[in-house]
Structure 1
Amino acid sequence: MVYFEIQFQETLVETFHIFYPKHVDYDILDRMNNDYYLKLIQLGLIYIFPLQLLEFSIAIVTIDLSSKLSSQQEKKMTLKDMFEKPIHSSNLRGSFLTFIYVVFLTTTHQLGLLWIVINYLCLKDLSYVIFGMIFSMFAKVLKMYLEWSSMWNMSLVMSILEGINGIDALPLSVNFSKGCHRKGLFLMLIFFAWGQFLRFSCYYIGGYEQGNGTYLQVGLFCMVIPLKWVVFMIYFNDCKERHLVKKIDEELGN
């Protein structure tokens, strides 16, 4: 994560110089050389593979141990008791399949946000009407991304806890989250804002140049990742309880 953040922020600096050069002698495409494209490909591969596998490992361990603690509230549970019952291999494979769907959906929406930002940088010298249209589009896509991300994260929680995997977990999480969209949006907004605040604060002070700022940024971010999955486990249980109550009311004719 430290290596990715340093490379990512150095690429941000290079991108800034490409779109806002000191001497305007070449167009944007000429300033994007092969090294720049290789850096983008490298960042994409690091993000998709090692970082996402790290996220999946943290998610499955955090949710599994948290569920064991919540199910043993009346009994004092030791660290040995928590690890006596390992995660079943079939549940691990099914949860990983769900996670692949979540990563695909998340990455495509992030690329959509990036495409809007690139359009803004390319059209920044045009009228305020164009700027307003691009900003409005970015706000709508960001809202959609945050709201849907809460449902995608809940589908992974559902796979780990309930064993409902793959494509079956996604529509079920959408069904469970009905009436809770605003809460899910608010939760994702908090974690998204925290991550971007840390990243751009480190970028602003130039922490990537010395490394100390990046270590602090990654450390603070890593403290929040397990908390995020505990919060979404609680969010899933709340949505599930609301869904069951609503179903019982419908069966009783209320």
Structure 2
Amino acid sequence: MELGSESMEMESNLTVKKNQKLETFDILRKALIISARNINFFIFTILTSLPLFFFLVYYEIFLQNFLVEIFEIVKQSLGYDYFYRVWPNVDITRKLNKEFLDELIQLCLLYLVPLHLLELSTVLVIVDLASKIYTEEGPVMSLKEMVNKPFDKARLKGTFITSVYVLFLSTCILLGLISLVTTYFVVLRNFGCDVFFAALCLPAFVGLLALYLALSAVWNMSLVISMLDGVHGTGALALAIYYSRGSEWCGLRLMLISLFYLGNVLKWVVCVVYFYDCKNRAFKKKECVESVDDEVGTQVEAVEE
């Protein structure tokens, strides 16, 4: 009876320790403290993010013009009064393929190459410096020290490999979201299938969006792991899944807040804090399990003797 009682008590202590984790707003608060603790960090990361910001402005303008032109062609070909009721004919498809194929290819290349590389370069800087500030209690780094700080080339290569995996996975889900919206506006609404959309497409869209946000937390953590721990590719993704186990809703909420409220710099500082919190809890859980196993094993041996 004593053995069972002590074992249950150990499991209870294990559960308490397992549940000790930072909540969403605790992580946000720590991220804000990191940004406010070192003004040089804030200035430096904002400056290094400017190329990405300007390119995003150009990319968004290009994308919006592309979408508007497609809308105008469809509207003119069908007639505005029949736009939402008539099935798109073959002439529209031919016209779109002829006039906008080059722009579509250019749009995809801009997204896959310069935008991806610019975003990755800002991630490397923000994650590395935020990690130093969060884990070390040393003197405040100057701007000169930040500029001259070297990067590990092996980790840079590994982070790039992981980012390719992340880009592929995120693009697949984004295409799924786009296909659902396209199915509704181009197909279902032309036949007055609003009820069907409400019953099927809308829940599917919300589900895919929630999945995308939850996986974004894992993908972003995998990039942080590649940069800080030197693990890349599928190994980084597997570690991110392992560390974030039990914190999926926290990660989803963080990504949702990042989507609407946080800037790029603060978002990646949040990812760094989230990574350390998940990693620490995973290690504590492992240590507690090993401690319980050792203690129970010792007691069993004592009883058998």
TM over 0.5: yes
Give the TM-score normalised by the residue count of structure 1: 0.82
Match of 1:156 in 2: 223
Equivalenced residue count is 226
1:130 and 2:130 aligned: no
- CA shift, 1:139, in A, is 0.8
The answer to whether the 8 A contact 1:18-1:28 is kept is no
Change (3 A) 1:36 1:134: same
Give the 5 Å matches for 1:214-225.
224-225=263-264
Counterpart among 114, 121, 132 of residue 57 in structure 1: 121
Match of 2:243 in 1: 176
Q: Alpha-carbon deviations, 1:80-139, whole Å to 9, x = none? A: 333444111111101100111011111111111111111111211333442120111111
CA distance in 2, matches of 1:81, 1:226: 19
Give the TM-score normalised by the residue count of structure 2: 0.69
CA distance in 1, matches of 2:91, 2:283: 59
Counterpart among 272, 278, 285 of residue 233 in structure 1: 272
CA distance in 2, matches of 1:62, 1:235: 14
Match of 1:48 in 2: 112
- Calculate the aligned-residue CA RMSD, in Å: 2.1
Match of 2:254 in 1: 187
- CA shift, 1:236, in A, is 0.3
- CA shift, 1:14, in A, is 2.6
The answer to whether the 8 A contact 2:188-2:194 is kept is no
- CA shift, 1:17, in A, is 3.3
The answer to whether the 8 A contact 1:68-1:82 is kept is no
The answer to whether the 8 A contact 2:162-2:234 is kept is yes
- CA shift, 1:229, in A, is 0.9
Q: Alpha-carbon deviations, 1:209-238, whole Å to 9, x = none? A: xxxxxxxxxxxxxx8112111110011011
Match of 1:11 in 2: 66
Greater RCO, 1 or 2 (C-alpha within 8 Å, sep 6+): 2
For structure 1, the residue ranges without an aligned partner over 5 or more in a row are 195-222
SS of 2:113's partner is helix
SS of 1:96's partner is helix
Change (3 A) 1:66 1:31: same
Match of 2:146 in 1: 82
SS of 1:123's partner is helix
% of aligned pairs identical?
40
CA distance in 2, matches of 1:62, 1:68: 10
Counterpart code for 1:44: C
The answer to whether the 8 A contact 2:221-2:272 is kept is yes
Counterpart code for 1:91: R
Match of 1:22 in 2: 80
Counterpart among 145, 157, 161 of residue 212 in structure 2: 145
Counterpart among 8, 33, 38 of residue 102 in structure 2: 38
SS of 1:172's partner is helix
Counterpart code for 1:131: F
- CA shift, 1:77, in A, is 2.6
Counterpart code for 2:65: E
SS of 1:65's partner is helix
- CA shift, 1:79, in A, is 2.6
Change (3 A) 1:76 1:188: closer
- CA shift, 1:29, in A, is 4.3
- CA shift, 1:243, in A, is 0.8
